[in-house]
Amino acid sequence: MNQPHADERSRIRAAMDRLLAGQHTSSNGSLTVVALAAEAGVHRMALQKRHADLKEEFYARVRTETHQTPEVERRLRKEVVRLKQALKDSRTAEAESRRRAEQMALAAAVLILRQPDGPQQPLPDNVVPIRPPVG
């Protein structure tokens, strides 16, 4: 590993220690990757891409040392709950649409298959004839 990357890694580890000890110096002190990058003086994407192992190490330490769930994980869990509800609502709406389509298809079949010269039976209240009754 080249020297600039090794220097970044040591700054990131020192920033982890400061954040977890509650002694932040150049960030808002939150236990997030954004605060870790600011505290270490590295670009957030460098932390996300080049030092992804340190990002995971940071989150593991947040879980074990502070007994907290990282903010990113809480946000993702909330999003999963929201998406599951949206999927449930979508499936309910789809089932209702299918039920209505089946009702309309049955009503259309009844109207199409009625014999024009057969005995006229009264239509149910919820059926509107396409053609006026003959006779």
**What residues contact 107, with CB distance under 8 A and at least 6 apart?**
127
Please tell me which residue, 102 or 111, carries the higher pLDDT value: 102
Look up the pTM and report it. Answer: 0.52
Nearest to 33 by CA among 47, 46, 53: 47
Distances (CA, A) of 35 to 20, 28, 56, 105, 131: 11, 6, 14, 60, 72
Asked if the model's pLDDT at residue 119 lies above 70, the reply is no
| Average pLDDT of the residues in 37-46 | 89
Domain extents for the chain?
3-68, 72-114
Nearest to 100 by CA among 90, 88, 89, 108: 108
Asked if the model's pLDDT at residue 133 lies above 70, the reply is no
Give me the pLDDT at residue 102, please.
93
Give me the pLDDT at residue 84, please.
96
Please tell me the distance from the alpha carbon of residue 13 to that of residue 61, in angstroms, as a whole number.
11
**What residues contact 85, with CB distance under 8 A and at least 6 apart?**
none
| Average pLDDT of the residues in 39-63 | 88
